[in-house]
A and B are shown apart, each in its own frame.
Chain A
Amino acid sequence: MILTDRLRSIGAGVRLWFTPARVREEGTTPDYRFSLANERTFLAWLRTGLALVGGGFAVDQFLPRLHDVLRVTFTVVLLVGGALCAVRAVNHWVRCERAMRRGEDLPASRFPAVLAVAVGLLAAAMVVLVAVGWTR
């Protein structure tokens, strides 16, 4: 029951990305400066995603002596993380834009905390692996 509600809300959220006109029908247009700030936040998240994708490319290319399984695992985790970051960027941007139009509070999110912990763990694991030299 909770799961179906959750899936339905995710579906509604995804529909919102593709029907921006519906967002524009609601509420009043906020000050253009707030919209631009929201746009810059979107771009910052997009850059975070691009940086993770670039990190994936870098692990693949610059750690050739790392064990194959580990190298592929790190690369795939970084690439998937980058794609997730990008998708989250547009989702958060649409939801913030809608909240500003409605005059509501901006949506809270635990994504930044999760990402921070994940990147920290990944970096620590990478340091240990490269320092220990678990290579072929």
Chain B
Amino acid sequence: MAGSPRRDEPSRDQPRRDQPCPDQPCPGRDPGLQPERTRLAWRRTTLSCTAVAILAGRQVVQHHAPGPVVVVAVALVLLVWIAFMAAAHVRMRAMCDSRPPVLSARTALALVACTCALAALGAAILV
């Protein structure tokens, strides 16, 4: 049974619907894999944001008696992190297209606002 293909397995000639081209490269696919590289750049950026959020969270965990300002600031850092992830996720979904549209300025500004908010909250934690 191991060698013979199962009945419900799609044959080689008929590609499955959800994977339009399993063997052949997609006709519209960029040979330089630009959308994939951009998607990975987004992934790296979300990882950087996560590292900052974890450092902020460490502040509360390590502190013996964190004050209300620190707790609220770290909670806001978590919200900012979620917003960052959501914006990045929407853009990464757009990267599934072989010809993704230009990044919207709203997304870019949202991410910059998130970064500035993290800096401001870092200053609030400091005080």
Distance from A85 Cβ to chain B, minimum over Cβ atoms (Å): 8
Residue B102, interface by CB 8 Å: yes
Residue B85, interface by CB 8 Å: no
Binding site for A on B (CB under 8 A): 30, 32, 34-35, 37-38, 41-42, 44-45, 48-49, 51-52, 55-56, 58-59, 62, 99-100, 102-106, 108-109, 111-112, 115-116, 118-120, 122-123, 125-126
Distance from B70 Cβ to chain A, minimum over Cβ atoms (Å): 11
Residues of A within 8 A of B123 (CB): 75-76, 79
Report the Cα distance A51→B52, complex, angstroms: 8
Binding site for B on A (CB under 8 A): 17-18, 20, 23, 29, 32-33, 35-37, 39-40, 42-44, 46-47, 49-51, 53-54, 56-58, 60-61, 72, 75-76, 79-80, 82-83, 86-87, 89-90, 93-94, 97
Q: List 17 A-B contacts (CB under 8 A).
A: A17-B109, A33-B34, A39-B102, A40-B41, A43-B45, A46-B115, A50-B45, A50-B52, A53-B52, A57-B55, A61-B58, A72-B126, A75-B122, A79-B122, A82-B115, A86-B112, A87-B116
With contacts A20-B105, A46-B111, A54-B48 taken as known, whether A61 is within 8 angstroms of B55 at the C-beta atoms is yes
Chain B residue at minimum C-beta to C-beta distance from A94: B105
* Interchain CB contact (< 8 A) of B34 among A37, A90, A97: A37
Residues of B within 8 A of A42 (CB): 103, 108
Distance from B40 Cβ to chain A, minimum over Cβ atoms (Å): 9
Most chain A Cβ neighbours within 10 Å, of B32, B99, B126: B126
Report the Cα distance A54→B81, complex, angstroms: 13
Pairwise interchain contact A46-B45, C-beta atoms closer than 8 A: yes
Pairwise interchain contact B38-A60, C-beta atoms closer than 8 A: no
* Interchain CB contact (< 8 A) of B56 among A20, A51, A57, A72: A57
With contacts A18-B105, A36-B100, A42-B103 taken as known, whether A60 is within 8 angstroms of B112 at the C-beta atoms is no
Pairwise interchain contact A60-B125, C-beta atoms closer than 8 A: yes
Chain A residue at minimum C-beta to C-beta distance from B35: A36
